[in-house]
């Protein structure tokens, strides 16, 4: 079994909780892998990638799994005027703190948006890019999906509750509700009601002065020229039944990015890496082996 080490490291002005996994014999791949989790209530790195971390570490990768700013045991501060930009700065700072020059970035949803933004801002820091149902692809072109509305509304109305979280995860995030055990719901719920998070939810609708500018910054289709210039080798993975981020974002990325492969999983929702764990892990490792550093 791979070894896991948990630590808290200083990244800029933030304390970041990090899970690091490597095989018993140590990493054999030259490029580290960073797994960036989604933005749903109670999300953490380890819970989002519970079915992937050990497999990827056993394949020889140094696997770095942070709780992103605003989540888990990491600092809760986030620049709400440009969330994806701030997350990209965080990822770059994490690599600096760990003395990692370039890494494979694997991002789900919110984490996918963070990974893509870093690839646009600093492609020299990204070896390869893997995006699972990333956020920000056409998000200002159509009204929010039912799943995204449920996500953004979790802390509104009567406030957070286990029933509301259960309905969101089993009803909106996955294709097969029975695939999510009660223990995962309980874990996510406890994290979602941290008083600091309730007071300052990390993922919310932009509001007030500058809201429109923020929304446009969070939609990569509004920055098509830069996306089209991004030559980082990219794999986009999407579930055909994703209720949070529309699967149409996958073909747009594949058409727009110069070196982008697209894989769609049938009977799969927003959590491809969880719902199709065995197939996803194999796809990811095979794709990275196709010329990976």
Catalytically active residues, by annotation: 270
DSSP state of 201: -
Nearest to 127 by CA among 194, 235, 31, 44: 31
Nearest to 45 by CA among 114, 103, 92: 114
Q: Which residue has the tokens 């998070």?
A: 197
Nearest to 85 by CA among 115, 109, 117: 117
Nearest to 33 by CA among 103, 102, 98, 116: 103
Give the number of other CB atoms < 10 A from CB of residue 57.
Answer: 23
Q: Is 64 helix (H, G, I), strand (E, B) or coil?
A: strand
Dig out the tokens for 270 from the structure.
């927003």
What is d(CA 54, CA 33) in angstroms, rounded to the nearest whole number?
12
DSSP state of 132: E
Contacts of 109 (CB under 8 A, 6+ apart): 38, 39, 40, 132, 133, 134, 135, 244, 245, 270
What is d(CA 168, CA 89) in angstroms, rounded to the nearest whole number?
29
């Amino acid at each position: 079994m791979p070894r896991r080490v948990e630590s808290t490291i200083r990244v800029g002005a933030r304390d970041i909780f990090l899970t690091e996994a490597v095989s018993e014999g140590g990493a054999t791949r030259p490029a580290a892998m960073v797994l960036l989790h989604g933005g749903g209530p109670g999300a953490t790195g380890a819970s989002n990638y519970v079915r992937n971390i050990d497999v990827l570490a056993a394949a020889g990768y140094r696997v770095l799994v942070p709780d992103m700013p605003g989540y888990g045991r990491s600092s809760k501060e986030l620049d709400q005027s440009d969330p994806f930009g701030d997350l990209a700065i965080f990822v770059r700072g994490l690599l600096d703190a760990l003395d990692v020059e370039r890494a494979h970035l694997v991002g789900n949803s919110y984490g996918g948006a963070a990974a893509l933004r870093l690839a646009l801002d600093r492609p020299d820091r990204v070896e390869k890019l893997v995006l699972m149902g990333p956020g920000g692809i056409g998000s200002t072109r159509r009204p929010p999906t039912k799943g995204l509305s449920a996500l953004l509304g979790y802390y509104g109305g009567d406030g957070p509750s286990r029933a509301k979280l259960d309905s969101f995860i089993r009803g909106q995030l996955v294709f097969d509700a029975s695939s999510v055990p009660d223990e995962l719901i309980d874990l996510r719920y406890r994290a979602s009601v941290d008083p600091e998070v309730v007071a300052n939810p990390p993922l919310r609708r932009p509001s007030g002065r500058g809201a429109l500018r923020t929304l446009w910054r969070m939609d990569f289709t509004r920055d098509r020229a830069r996306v089209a210039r991004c030559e980082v080798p990219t794999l986009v993975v999407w579930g055909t039944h994703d209720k949070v981020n529309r699967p149409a974002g996958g073909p747009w990325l594949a058409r727009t990015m110069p070196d982008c492969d697209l894989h769609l999983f049938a009977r799969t929702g927003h959590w491809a890496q969880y719902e199709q764990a065995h197939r996803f892990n194999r796809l990811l490792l095979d794709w990275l082996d196709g010329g990976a550093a």
